[in-house]
Structure 1
Amino acid sequence: MPDTASPGMSHKEIMKALSGLLIVMAVTMMSSTIVSVALPQIIGALKGTQSQYTWVVTAMLLTSTISTPLWGRLADLFDKKLLLQVGIVIFLLASLGAGFSQNTEQLIAWRAVQGLGLGAAQVLIQVVIAAMISPKDRGKYNGYLGAVMGLATVAGPLLGGLITEVMDWRWCFFLPIPFALLAFFMLHRTLHLEHVRRDDVKIDYLGATLIAAGVSVLLIWITFVGDTFAWLSWQTGAMVGASVLVLALSVWVENRAAQPVVPVRIVKQRTPALAIIGSAAVGMAMFGGAVFLGQYFQIGRGYSPTAAGLLTIPMMLGMMVSSTISGRIISRTGKVKPHIVFALVSLTLGFALMSTIDHETSLVFIGGAMVLIGVGVGMSMQNLVLIVQNGVSMKDMGAASGALAFFRSLGGTIGVSVLGAVLASEVADSIKKGFAKLGVQVTGDQGGTLDLESIPAPLREIVRAAYGDGTGHIFLVSTGIAVVGLVAVLFLKPNDLRDTIDLPSAPASERSEGEKELAAS
């Protein structure tokens, strides 16, 4: 094993080590949510468009998605602590670059680099915790992790709104830097994992490159289809065909690699496969909700950035409270499936309610729907990781955690791209119809601009209504995805969580089907 932790760590020792990890999680999560509320102002100031608005988020999620399984595999081979610190440094440099961006192209590029650091945090924190704590006890500590994520998600929009109104939007990127530095040095002092050097290291760079290329082409197609070119066109055929071909080739390579980035032998097992489908739905909720709710409240309803941040609190509180309570119950009972099923039911219902909103919907109604979404995310995100980690040995912990985080991130990335494309299409049609009624022809970027001050007041109200009404359509799409996730988790096996850090050695005749598959590989 590359890294090990001393067995029987006390609660105090674990909390000391956990403190730096929680700060890393808070900082990286905040980097996403602090921008979500400020993005309309940022894109407006940089003279960007709705497509660029989506790509500021998608670029970060794309590189995070692509790099996550690679970080997970590296964690099985190298020093986990050092890898996490490298991820923090990448995040720091990218945050600095994003803050000094002079146009949307530069901002998107730096956000892509920032995603590499986010990818490291997403998987390595889970892997380090797994190296210290048994699955049964991990429920409680994962509850702390979920609470911090909820708190960071609450604080992010509020800080983003205040910074945008009181200071310059660039501080949305500068503010996380000192906290990331603090986390770096805290990890240096408090996280102690014994590292054993391995000489049989083989990184599947070809597989990682093919996965990155296949996913990138697919997301680029999603961004431009229906706008730049038609759904049924040679461009669609070329891009979708190329993506399918490259991804199929990546599966072939991964099946034959000695140490694959995404181990197919783990992913094709029942529990990981079902957890992956559920995680994709949760990823869409976590990223899509944060991105488009901030835009809905500001552009569609006319609230200030600070007010928009305050209005997202119900979802964040639902996430924070549910993850803490759920984690403690799981540590007592060792049963995790009922929590995941309840979470997906809540998520589906929340999305279904949000699909009915328009630019005049009661804020009380929206708040109630957001609470349900928050509960769904809070009770499922960490628990889906936990149920997968429960069935794999420590030598495969990084790969299994990375694979799950990869597909969750992929779901979020595709979700943001698809929802952004749906919203852009709905908004463009509504604006054209509204302008036509006033005898005005849409010119240039009028149909997609987020700089509302640049257009006359009567036309501005048409744009606001278009964004407000269009948001309901994207949540209708989300409801369908959540239903798929719910059906998947219903088929999860209700196994109790083990109380040991690693899988116990057992005779071949007593091993589970998953353990036999792992042993055979």
Structure 2
Amino acid sequence: MSESLPGATAPRMTQRQVLEALSGLILGMFVSMLASTVVSSSLPVIIHDLDGNQTAFTWVVTAMLLTTAISTPIWGKLADLTNRKVLYQLAIVIFVLATAAAGFSQNPEMLIAFRAVQGIGAGGLAALSQVLMADIISPRERGRYMGLFGAVMAVATIGGPLLGGVITDAWGWRWNFFVALPVAILALIMVQATLHVPARPKKKTSIDYLGIVLLSVAVSLLLVWVSNAGTTTTGDWADLGNNDWWSLTTVLMVGGAILGILLFIVVELRSKEPLVPLTLFRNRTFTLSVIASIATGIAMFGASVFLSQYMQLARGATPTEAGLMTIPMIGGLLVASIVVGALITRTGRWKPYLVVGAVLLIAGSYLLSTIHYDTDFFLVSVYMFALGAGVGMTMQNLVLVVQNTTRPEEIGVASSGVTFFRSLGGTIGVSVMGAALAAKVIDLVAERKEDITTAIMSLGDKAQYWGEQLQSGSLPKVAEMPEALRVVFEDVYATGISHSFLIAVPFAVLSLIAIVFLPNKPLTSMTTTERLQASEADFATVSVPEAMEVLTPTGSIRTVETPRRSDDD
């Protein structure tokens, strides 16, 4: 019986085989994106119907982002320890079941809880898709396939809000949560049939449970504080008393978050299998990519949440119209992702595209901070396209450059690490932007109180109805307001939302600085599996001295063993 030599590799997959293997992954990601985006255009309607306020609106988004961020490194760690294909299928099941359950929500709290569970599955899909791609495609070739992933994500992101708007207007918003079920079943079948990853040696699984708890507590405390500080205490438009940013609550929550982070670092340094190996930060590429990913997360998640609100609350659009109006941003993401992915594969150069992407993030964020309720929509479209193109150029490629320099044994945890900080950045960004929006709206309503009172008094028989609607504190349906009242609130929300986009600008600048200092290392043409086998072969060669045959002066052949030269020689 023959034994394979160390370093022997399976034949490289053809493009057709790669596409077949990726089909299940792509469909799984499509389900994830569709189930997330189909709700975005109808979220203002959902929160209104469930009697939620602006804080509830923000937390419906933040809860999912928070659990996505926290679960991502856990999935990544499990990917380095156990069967990645089974994990991916498990993530699909968790995600879709939680999504369907959210459709039965009776109040904002119930919806927030199911969205949190949904985020656990989303974290697995985001982390494992990158890890599985690295198993079968080299970084040099991965550009074109990441472009394909970007295209599918863009289609889901374009089609999701449109489909969600149509469903909401025709059958009601609850059906948005059920639409992904048949696609998910198909995705599970496709993954089982088409995804065949190389077998990996079994390892003893050890999970850093204490690290998970500390990270969850620290991040949750920080987000709860950000969401509540500086906003109304009762949600009543007439009650304009704010929670102080600096108070005993602030000291307890922020102090608790800082203590939790410090304890998390101590635990990670002492853990045998840390959730986020801090040794990764010795890699300059990983550290700078993490910093850059935070800004990408803020731009990506912040824009998707607040642009839909802008279209409906500041321009009076229906959910369907709001989906149509955000197409320019998704168009920018789609074009940039496909074109740049193809160019990286063709040329092997990645850094110039990341720099341009970071510049577009800065430009798009700043320009969106200047919009008003009556800004020419062509200009708004240009601003959205710029931001979308910036996200498309940076999001997937930051993971790519990290995978290119990380040891193959740590691909899972490194890939999920970048995704984790991107999700965490997006989570904190959405919370801060949402808190800033809520606080700004309260201030603007106070400034326009006389105008609002005058508008209500001019409504005659409907004055009491609209007065009670505003007193409830729930997110208003601006499009249904009478003209005199609608103009005031469109101006208020447009100013508040544009103000929140200004928060993303300094993070985008920081992203550009980090990308400029990224080491410009060429992309390898080996897959993760091949790199792992090559490293094992190097170890075997170092362990066993090399033998060579030499010719003696008498003409006979003698075998001489010589130690292999090390990399430091």
Shorter-chain TM band: over 0.9
Letter in 2 for 1:179: V
- Once residues 472 and 371 of structure 2 are traced to their aligned partners in structure 1, the CA distance between those partners, rounded to angstroms, is 24
In the alignment, what sits opposite 1:362? 376
SS in 2 for 1:41: helix
- State the one-letter code of the partner of 1:99: G
2:413 aligns with 399
- What TM-score does the superposition give when structure 2 sets the normalisation length? 0.86
Q: 2:510 aligned to 480, 484, 488, which one?
A: 484
CA displacement at 1:168 relative to structure 2: 1.3
- 1:52 and 2:56 equivalent? yes
Shift, 1:436, TM fit: 2.6
Matches within 5 A, 1:249-264: 249-264=263-278
**Cα distance in 2 for residues equivalent to 1:232 and 1:324:** 46
* Residues 1:63 and 2:89 are matched in the alignment: no
Quote how far apart the aligned CAs of 1:127 are. 0.3
Is 1:433 the counterpart of 2:447? The answer is: yes
Give the equivalent residue in structure 2 for 1:375. Answer: 389
Q: What is residue 334 of structure 2 aligned with on the other side? A: 320
Is the Cα contact below 8 Å between 2:361 and 2:390 reproduced in 1? Answer: yes
Alpha-carbon displacement from aligned partner over 1:146-176 (angstroms, at most 9, x marks no partner): 1111111111111111111112101111001
d(CA) in 2 for partners of 1:107 and 1:167?
Answer: 19
Q: Give the letter aligned to residue 491 of structure 1.
A: F
Counterpart Cα distance in 2 of 1:232 and 1:68: 32
Q: Is the alpha carbon distance of 1:293 and 1:86 closer, same or farther for their aligned partners in structure 2, counting shifts above 3 Å?
A: same
Q: Note the alpha carbon deviations across 1:255-303, whole angstroms, 9 max, x for none.
A: 1111111111113421111101111111111111011001100111101
State which of 185, 189, 200 in structure 1 corresponds to 2:204: 200
Distance in 2 between the 1:363 and 1:489 partners? 32
1:497 to 523, 535, 545: 523
**One of 468, 473, 480 as aligned partner of 2:499:** 473
5 Å-filtered alignment, 1:24-423, equals: 24-196=28-200, 198-227=202-231, 228=233, 229-423=243-437
What is the alpha-carbon distance in structure 2 between the residues aligned to residue 170 and residue 416 of structure 1? Answer: 24
Corresponding letter in the other structure for 1:70: I
Report how far residue 456 of structure 1 moved: 5.9
Distance 2:181 2:49 in 1: 23
- Identity rate of aligned residues, in percent? 46
Change (3 A) 1:5 1:122: farther
CA distance in 1, matches of 2:206, 2:11: 29
2-structure distance, mates of 1:159, 1:17: 28
Residues 300-335 of structure 1 deviation map (CA, whole Å, 9 limit, x = unaligned): 110111111111111101101111111111112222
Which one of the candidate residues 8, 14, 17 is aligned to 2:18?
14
Q: Is the 8 A contact 1:358 1:470 kept in 2?
A: no
Aligned to 2:553: none
Say if 1:124 and 1:134 are closer, same or farther in 2 by CA, change over 3 A.
Answer: same
Matched to 1:390, the amino acid is: N
Contact residue 294 and residue 422 of structure 2 kept, 8 A: yes
1:30 offset after TM fit, Å? 1.9
Q: What TM-score, normalized by structure 1, do the two folds share? A: 0.94
2:295 counterpart letter in structure 1: A
Contact 1:222 1:421 in 2 (8 A): yes
1:424/1:448 contact within 8 Å kept = no
Structure number, greater radius of gyration: 2
- CA shift, 1:510, in A, is 4.0
Alpha-carbon displacement from aligned partner over 1:211-260 (angstroms, at most 9, x marks no partner): 11111111111110112421110110110010011111101111111111
When the two structures are aligned, how many residues end up with a matched partner?
508
* Change over 3 Å in CA distance of 1:97–1:492 after alignment to 2: same
Give the structure 1 partner of residue 239 of structure 2.
Answer: none
2:165 aligned partner, one-letter code: G
Give the AA of the match of 2:524. Answer: R
Displacement after TM superposition at 1:454 (Å): 8.3
Q: Which runs of 5+ in 2 are unaligned?
A: 1-7, 234-242, 457-466, 543-564
Q: How far apart are the structure 2 equivalents of 1:438 and 1:46?
A: 24
* Contact 1:266/1:272, CA 8 A, preserved across alignment: yes
Letter of the 2:301 partner, please give it.
Answer: F
- The amino acid that maps onto 2:170 is V
- Flag structure 1 segments of 5+ consecutive residues without an equivalent: 512-521
Deviates more, 1:428-437 or 1:62-71: 428-437
What amino acid sits opposite 2:313 in the alignment? I
Pairwise CA distance, 1:459: 3.0
Flag the 1:222–1:509 CA change in 2: closer, same or farther, 3 A: farther
Aligned to 1:517: none
Distance in 2 separating the partners of 1:40 and 1:190: 39
Higher mean Cα deviation, 142-151 or 72-81? 142-151
Equivalent residue of 2:526, what SS?
coil
Equivalent position SS for 1:194:
coil
Report the aligned-residue RMSD.
2.0
Q: Shift of the alpha carbon at 1:31?
A: 2.0
2:472 and 2:432 map into 1 onto residues whose CA distance is 22
Deviation for aligned residue 1:445: 4.6
